[in-house]
């Protein structure tokens, strides 16, 4: 099995913010009115994919990696990360905003996980903040128009957005930023907003602020996206200070093929749309608001990075030697395969449109390949090198995915459709 391509059965996550159509359509499922939020492909303990070779029996991908880590991962990845897949690949489809959140740095993830273990907090408890000992930087590439928030705006810009709004919370945030228009002021204003969650009159205070924002928007605001975000979040989560916190954060719109990187410590929230998401294999999420789940204010504040600046973007490199002609609605300049790389060692993506001519893909390590549109044909040469074996090919249709072990050797792809390839760079 070590040189076989493994068909994957991903894990579906049905969170309440999920789309009621996007993942159903991708997977060919009946639209039953229930939300499907995330499609997980990987070996994370919370939702490992099942894998099978040549129509044989299926098994957990995590177990298969544990049984033969060298052939599945390759020596380099095994030496760096041990007998585990270091990334988790997802397709995310959101109709409503996800929680305002932060992911911990490696040392804070280890410390928090070990502390909760010592305290006897069950691994599956809703009161647990650290579900594993790993950090969770992540990267998204938009499939549809994708809306989000990520990283702090400059203090002077935040003050412009808060100007003239009623409410004790926004008054305190303004005072903090006026006194210290720096990372220190951002820290104080953000801390005020998070602690306001438990104030007895927070709902009424926020209602007056949101009313002013709504009136400003109706009158023709100079910041329509920021104001519309506040109004939308206040409608989705009444009485939650996260709606006001959104004015502190960069508002981001990604068109298909555009991408964003979220390092550990960056406050962010995804608002709507469909994207491919890749991250280190972790489920550590520290929430700041816009959620009914646990909000651990102290653990979150310890992890936040307050340096203002634009949302981070990965490096993008076009891979096609020959351009793929653009289909209807997609110009040639936007067609073809691209490599997306962030400043993280655990993961990278190749993503885009394939053509009739075979294009090479990452040739080593553990790879996951997903078809998003049309049909793509994946080829490999098992045992390439001193004792090559005959090449094999497999066709993937929308929503189908495979795990390609290191032992399968070199890969190429061709066909008519869109493909995603996750790998360890």
Q: How many domains does the chain have?
A: 3
Q: What are the backbone angles phi and psi of residue 151, rounded to the nearest 5°? A: 75, 160
* pTM listed for this prediction: 0.92
Domain contains 139: yes
- The CA distances from residue 383 to 53, 388, 391, 423, in Å, are 17, 5, 9, 19
Domain with 385 in it: what CATH number? Answer: 2.60.120.10
DSSP string, 68-116: SHHHHH-HHHHHHH-SS--EEEEEEEESSPPPEEE---HHHHHHHHHHH
| Per-residue confidence (pLDDT) for residue 327, from 0 to 100 | 52
| Per-residue confidence (pLDDT) for residue 173, from 0 to 100 | 98
Whether residue 158 sits in one domain with residue 136? no
Percentage, residues of the chain above pLDDT 90: 85
Its domain, for residue 100, covers 6-149+253-303
Out of 212, 228, 246, pick the residue that ends a domain. Answer: 246
Whether residue 200 sits in one domain with residue 179? yes
Whether residue 165 sits in one domain with residue 95? no
Domain contains 331: no
Whether residue 380 sits in one domain with residue 258? no
Whether residue 132 sits in one domain with residue 266? yes
Whether residue 118 sits in one domain with residue 15? yes
Look at residue 143 and give its three-state secondary structure: coil
Domain contains 312: no
| Per-residue confidence (pLDDT) for residue 2, from 0 to 100 | 61
pLDDT in tens, 227-274: 999 999 999 999 999 999 999 999 999 999 999 999 999 999 999 999
For the CA atoms of 29, 33, 37, 38, what is the dihedral angle to 10 degrees?
-20
Distant-in-sequence, close-in-space partners of 16: CB < 8 Å, separation ≥ 6: 35, 37, 96
pLDDT of residue 339 exceeding 80: yes
Domain contains 71: yes
- The CA distances from residue 207 to 100, 159, 198, 241, 398, in Å, are 19, 19, 15, 10, 44
Whether residue 285 sits in one domain with residue 157? no
Burial letters 143-172, b for 16+ CB under 10 A, else e: beebbbbbbbbebebbbebbeebebbbbee
Whether residue 171 sits in one domain with residue 188? yes
pLDDT in tens, 18-73: 999 999 999 999 999 999 999 999 999 989 999 998 778 899 999 999 999 999 99
Out of 219, 246, 273, pick the residue that ends a domain. Answer: 246
pLDDT in tens, 370-402: 999 999 999 988 654 444 455 688 999 999 999
Q: What is the mean pLDDT of residues 92-114?
A: 96
Domain contains 315: no
Q: What is the mean pLDDT of residues 6-18?
A: 96
Distance CA 132, CA 141 (A): 25
Query: Mutual orientation of helices 155-162 and 168-179 as an angle, nearest 10°?
Result: 150
Domain contains 332: no
Q: Which residue has the tokens 């995330």?
A: 38
| Per-residue confidence (pLDDT) for residue 306, from 0 to 100 | 96
Whether residue 278 sits in one domain with residue 169? no
Burial letters 174-204, b for 16+ CB under 10 A, else e: bebbeeebeeebbbbbbebbbebeeeeebee
Give which of 153, 152, 91 is closest to 288, Cα–Cα. 152
| Per-residue confidence (pLDDT) for residue 392, from 0 to 100 | 84
Distance of CA 39 to the CA centre of its chain: 11
Distance CA 50, CA 67 (A): 14
Look at residue 337 and give its three-state secondary structure: strand
| Per-residue confidence (pLDDT) for residue 320, from 0 to 100 | 67
Whether residue 219 sits in one domain with residue 261? no
Domain contains 311: no
Domain contains 403: yes
Whether residue 96 sits in one domain with residue 75? yes
Whether residue 94 sits in one domain with residue 20? yes
Q: Where are the beta strands (DSSP E) in 281-328?
A: 286-289, 315-318
């Amino acid at each position: 099995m070590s040189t076989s391509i493994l068909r994957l059965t991903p894990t579906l996550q049905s969170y309440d913010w999920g789309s009621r159509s996007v993942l159903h359509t991708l997977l060919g499922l009946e639209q039953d009115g229930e939300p499907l939020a995330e499609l997980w492909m990987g070996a994370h303990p919370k939702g490992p994919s099942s894998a099978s070779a040549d129509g044989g029996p299926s098994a957990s991908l995590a177990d298969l990696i544990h049984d033969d880590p060298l052939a599945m991962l390759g020596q380099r990845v095994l030496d760096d990360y041990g007998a585990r897949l270091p990334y988790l690949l997802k397709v995310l489809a959101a109709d409503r905003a996800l929680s305002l959140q932060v992911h911990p740095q490696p040392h804070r993830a280890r410390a928090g996980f070990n502390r909760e273990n010592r305290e006897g907090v069950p691994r599956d408890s809703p009161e647990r903040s650290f579900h594993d000992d790993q950090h969770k930087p992540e990267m998204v590439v938009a499939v549809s128009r994708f809306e989000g928030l990520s990283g702090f705006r400059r203090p002077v810009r935040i003050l412009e957005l808060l100007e003239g709004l009623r409410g004790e919370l926004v008054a305190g945030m303004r005072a903090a930023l006026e006194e210290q228009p720096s990372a220190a002021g951002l820290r104080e204003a953000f801390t005020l907003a998070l602690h306001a969650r438990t104030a007895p009159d927070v709902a009424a205070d926020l209602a007056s602020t949101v009313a002013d924002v709504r009136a400003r928007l109706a009158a023709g605001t100079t910041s329509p996206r920021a104001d519309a975000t506040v109004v939308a979040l206040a409608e989705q989560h009444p009485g939650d200070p996260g709606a006001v916190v959104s004015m502190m954060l960069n508002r981001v719109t990604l068109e298909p093929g555009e991408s964003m990187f979220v390092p550990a410590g960056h406050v962010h929230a995804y608002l709507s749309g469909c994207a491919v998401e890749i991250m280190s294999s972790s489920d550590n999420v520290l929430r700041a608001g816009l959620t009914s789940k646990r909000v651990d204010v102290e653990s979150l504040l310890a992890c936040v990075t307050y340096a203002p600046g634009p949302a981070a973007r990965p490096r993008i490199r076009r891979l096609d030697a020959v351009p793929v002609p653009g289909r209807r609605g997609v110009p040639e300049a936007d067609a073809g395969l691209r490599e997306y790389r962030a400043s993280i060692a655990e993961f990278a993506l190749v993503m885009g449109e394939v053509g009739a001519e075979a294009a090479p893909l990452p040739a080593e390590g553990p790879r996951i390949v997903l078809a998003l549109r049309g049909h793509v044909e994946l080829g490999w040469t098992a045992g390439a090198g001193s004792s090559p074996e005959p090449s094999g090919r497999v066709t993937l249709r929308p929503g189908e995915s495979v795990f390609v072990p290191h032992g399968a050797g070199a890969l190429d792809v061709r066909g008519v459709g869109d493909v995603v390839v996750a790998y360890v760079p």
